[in-house]
Structure 1
């Protein structure tokens, strides 16, 4: 008996060792990118389809799985896809933005090799070049926990993806031309829910007594959107890969570029109820609805929908209440709160202020007085091949100009330099009347503080240094500030951008170079064998290092 027990124990140890060292599974996707007719607001317009779908297919994945996505560009334009929140650990080569990747030429393809390395949660993908995002080409990403990792809530009976966003009936090219001419975008024409709006909006069927997870992403161009389910409360459970304290809300604000998950229980009378999506912080409120339909529904929704909150305090207080569930496991079987970010010494403070100005008499947006100018060569390739003159390292100062925002800004391909494994404090300052939304590729940030008014060093006294939520997209309220702490643990060239897409297109972005002087595959993967070359990098093929097989994790 003792021998059998010993043999069983040895077998279990063998299996654990082999499962730990085995390569994570692969999932393969083949995507065909085309233009096609869509009518999301009842008006025929040209949209970007993926395999004939608008929105695009959902990526279903599990922690650590490898995603092989072969993208065939059948548009007449160069094209790239980027991954909002899917952190490419050690691999900015796959980021899919103009500073890291050459565009996929018309009629050609490129295969992304992504990995959901140590990640869970709700995210989305989108087209990053030109103004393609205004035409579609976006879709949801769901990264599920591995079966043996405990999740801090019972498994829902089902889950739904809910992609919400503002939308224009004008074509993306017309909108781009408007921005190129130096003009601002008008207000959007409507709000979409999974590519539709009321009265033909999306429907979600539920059964009485069952609990459902909604994975909500704001894939729109600019507006904060308020989300409510008529007659039902929602429990927030996850924000961009972080399990949260499970607070109950009657409605939630989802800012541009943000994703989150809520649970709700179908515990009301069996009939129809509305989901209402409303714009926030603009003069004219737009609203769209979808239907929660109980099985055996006895009739349509009939109560009047409540108005969306109208004040900043509602949203600010809600944002402050979103905290990390420190007893929950993340993608690994250890508590999320075991990383004591509040006790790490800050090595650098960076203050970033947005501003609207002009360059050559045309509207531009800037960060610390610098409006980003697109280069003829991806910055990542220029850095790799030591091509001079493509970008200026240190072009973004660590603080806004002493005189504050100015109408005149300078245009430059500026890159902020930073050291690998440094721990930085970034204060996002907003002196304008609209909500700002910021995203950093390749990283999550600890949102330790936010308020209206002016940030000062005394503002640190209010920081949450214990259980601040970790996420990749953060909002800054009008005439306010948001402070985040960032562990720069991911080597590469990473895009820091406004998620208000017209602002990003006109320069409110830059690249953060997370640098180590001793390159190692432990810190950054080699250039992919299938990397596209363009611009000045195309002439650098003679000096290109021999292709190196991608190391296994």
Structure 2
């Protein structure tokens, strides 16, 4: 009898232990997406778009911190295709980054299953095609990562979330736009700016309630200013960072960036304009939507709320007001400010200068004189299989040098756990926007003219926010600090897609000689192999 009781007790303990293990595993979310061409009418005329499951824009991904995403992507286009997850860190897993330096594209009438985790992240993000000029035809969508229920957020739960994908748009077919670039020309000025793929849309809410607007710039080349007639916006989150909450009449959002605001419907019951208009452009494009009160007594009316047009200093001053909330948690209970980035001495300084260069009479764009070209074999595969003559880590220098631009598959070597300073130096008269895959970074400084070592005296070393995409104003610089804690081959690129396509990008090889799953996952068993990697075993 005693032995039976003991056996039951042991079985009960084991059952509880097993149950706890089951409960401990993070949830899995499964998706199947089919990518096709389809006719869309964003500007009232038919044009060929890229649809995901028949939708333009694509389906919104709503997930929770630490969810495991299993997404089977079926390519029904007539060209190879990839999606990249803009701002998702892909911890230890650059195999799933979805850019041509890390992945072979998915051939037509084939599929690939992405497997990644939204590890220790919250916030507003997007996804979009990284191949050719597919981004100009669609294939993009919102990706929202919500906090786990046990982790509080530093604001009351809104009545509802609205995702606003705002960006410039062309009537021209994406293949025609690509042909323009391939022939050595630049893209024309966009035809319009759209909100959620439409020239006009409506967002409805109840008077007295507060709503979250998740705003992303999914455009190709232009920044925009966002505002809502008669309402102020409380900025609460920028690309995964909870910020010191401030009230704004309007906000600049640059290419590739995302942010979240809370808006309380505290005005008279009527309809109000939602406005996005291009910044730093001679011709100003404007898109309007409607904020509709459910008890509205009248339709939208009056002049559109005015916004800034070309004021660089105004925008830079606003950018400096975006600051980290040091006491708020993010995806985990510990405060965002528990890592004192400003007290760490960088091990290396890298200065990256963009330029608009002609090579063999054709328009190209370069970083430190190197105009990037994608080799047939992804850099990540070449590195993994030790395949020679695919890329060189001597092509690009860590500082700008004088001389003509040239082609190269540029990779910059760094070491795992380095803490580095990167300065984006913009000597052109156009605004720039820079993105780093696999990371967020502290944007510590903005300034006009040339960066010098004395510029460090202006850095915010206390509460600069972290984000994945930073703007660099015309004839100006932007400085960031990065903790290289994510091994892999990571893309640094212009978020302005034509510039990226024509060479304004490079890769950062974050490496250690210690091979360990604690540092980086193995190559996926379903990895597509191409170029010189064909025939190798995944």
TM-score bucket of the superposed structures, by smaller chain: over 0.9
- 1:45-96 CA-to-partner distances (Å, cap 9, x unmatched) read 1000000000000111100010011000001110000000011000000000
8 Å Cα contact 2:392-2:409 kept in structure 1: yes
- 1:290-329 CA-to-partner distances (Å, cap 9, x unmatched) read 0000012111122211332131111101100000011111
Deviation of 1:359 (Å): 1.4
Give the match for residue 108 of structure 2: 106
CA distance in 1, matches of 2:64, 2:295: 34
Give the match for residue 465 of structure 1: 461
Residue 520 in structure 1 maps to residue 516 in structure 2: yes
Give the match for residue 551 of structure 1: none
Give the match for residue 45 of structure 1: 47
Give the match for residue 357 of structure 2: 357
Bigger drift between 390-399 and 379-388 goes to 390-399
Give the match for residue 5 of structure 1: none
Within-5 A mapping of 1:380-529: 380-401=380-401, 403=402, 408-529=404-525
CA distance in 2, matches of 1:158, 1:16: 37
Residue 537 in structure 1 maps to residue 529 in structure 2: no
Give the match for residue 6 of structure 1: none
Deviation of 1:393 (Å): 1.3
Residues 368 and 17 from structure 1, CA distance in 2 versus in 1: closer, same or farther, beyond 3 angstroms?
farther
List runs of 5+ in structure 2 lacking aligned partners: 1-12
Give the match for residue 61 of structure 1: 63
Residue 86 in structure 1 maps to residue 88 in structure 2: yes
Give the match for residue 304 of structure 1: 303
Within-5 A mapping of 1:209-288: 209-288=208-287
TM-score w.r.t. length of structure 2:
0.96
Deviation of 1:394 (Å): 2.9
Give the match for residue 4 of structure 1: none
Deviation of 1:345 (Å): 1.6
CA distance in 2, matches of 1:16, 1:488: 36
CA distance in 1, matches of 2:340, 2:229: 39
CA distance in 2, matches of 1:159, 1:431: 39
Report the secondary structure of 1:350's partner residue.
strand
Give the match for residue 158 of structure 2: 156
Deviation of 1:15 (Å): 8.2
- 1:466-524 CA-to-partner distances (Å, cap 9, x unmatched) read 10000000000001000000001100000100011110000000111000111110000
Give the match for residue 323 of structure 2: 323
CA distance in 2, matches of 1:519, 1:239: 34
Deviation of 1:186 (Å): 0.9
CA distance in 2, matches of 1:398, 1:414: 11
CA distance in 1, matches of 2:146, 2:471: 26
Q: Which among 95, 98, 115 is matched to residue 97 of structure 2?
A: 95
CA distance in 2, matches of 1:480, 1:116: 34
CA distance in 1, matches of 2:22, 2:429: 51
Deviation of 1:18 (Å): 3.0
8 Å Cα contact 2:207-2:295 kept in structure 1: no
Deviation of 1:150 (Å): 1.2
CA distance in 2, matches of 1:15, 1:175: 58
8 Å Cα contact 2:227-2:305 kept in structure 1: no
8 Å Cα contact 2:120-2:331 kept in structure 1: yes
- 1:101-153 CA-to-partner distances (Å, cap 9, x unmatched) read 01101001100001000000000000000100000000000100000101000
Deviation of 1:395 (Å): 1.7
Report the secondary structure of 2:106's partner residue.
coil
8 Å Cα contact 2:325-2:337 kept in structure 1: yes
Report how many aligned residue pairs link the two structures. 525
CA distance in 1, matches of 2:395, 2:324: 35
TM-score w.r.t. length of structure 1:
0.93
Give the match for residue 120 of structure 2: 118
CA distance in 2, matches of 1:344, 1:21: 38
Bigger drift between 518-527 and 293-302 goes to 293-302
Report the secondary structure of 1:244's partner residue.
strand
Residue 26 in structure 1 maps to residue 22 in structure 2: no
- 1:259-315 CA-to-partner distances (Å, cap 9, x unmatched) read 110001000011100100100001000001000000121111222113321311111
Give the match for residue 6 of structure 2: none
Report the secondary structure of 1:318's partner residue.
helix
8 Å Cα contact 2:275-2:305 kept in structure 1: no
8 Å Cα contact 2:218-2:256 kept in structure 1: yes
Report the secondary structure of 1:382's partner residue.
helix
Report the secondary structure of 2:509's partner residue.
strand
Deviation of 1:21 (Å): 7.7
8 Å Cα contact 2:435-2:468 kept in structure 1: yes
CA distance in 2, matches of 1:525, 1:93: 8
Deviation of 1:17 (Å): 10
List runs of 5+ in structure 1 lacking aligned partners: 1-10, 548-553
